[in-house]
Amino acid sequence: NCSINKLIVDGDTDKVVSVDAIGATRIQTTIVKTDAYFEDFEDRNQGFINIEVSGEPETMLTLSGDFNNVSLMKPENYLTLGKGSIYNLVVDEDASESQIILDRNAYVINASLEAPCLVSGEGDIGSVSITSFGVEVTMLPDELYVLVLLPL
């Protein structure tokens, strides 16, 4: 039961860091720089509020539970949602070639895909906004918005 403004997850590249938010723990911003596993089944107003994956290429974050905001910020960063939900998922314009896997019991409510990326798996997506060429989404979302400007 604690309140943390900023948590940076950085460690050995050959190990996965595991963090579980339990009780009344509230972590406002979590920056992930190494492979990690986060679990959060508490109230959506507690636990991990904002997660930024900002590691070297092939950094993997695996989530289980319900999360507010998750952003992939760097190229070739990977995200797996094993079970649970993400309210807002963003693939930043700098996060090209990133990959998101949504397992069977996973749901993303809103996804904003701003760079070439792949979203795959057996999970579901509510609303998807695409603002880049090279985006591939293998499941059919409930709502799809595409805004890609052609060069003049």
Q: What is the mean pLDDT of residues 89-115?
A: 97
CA count, 13 A, side-chain hemisphere, 87: 11
> At residue 151, does pLDDT exceed 70?
no
Give me the phi and psi of 7, to 5 degrees please: -125, 125
Convert the pLDDT of each residue in 131-140 to its tens digit.
999 999 999 9
pLDDT digits (tens, 9 = 90+) for 18-75: 988 888 889 999 999 999 999 988 777 788 999 999 999 999 999 999 999 999 999 9
pLDDT in the model for residue 25: 86
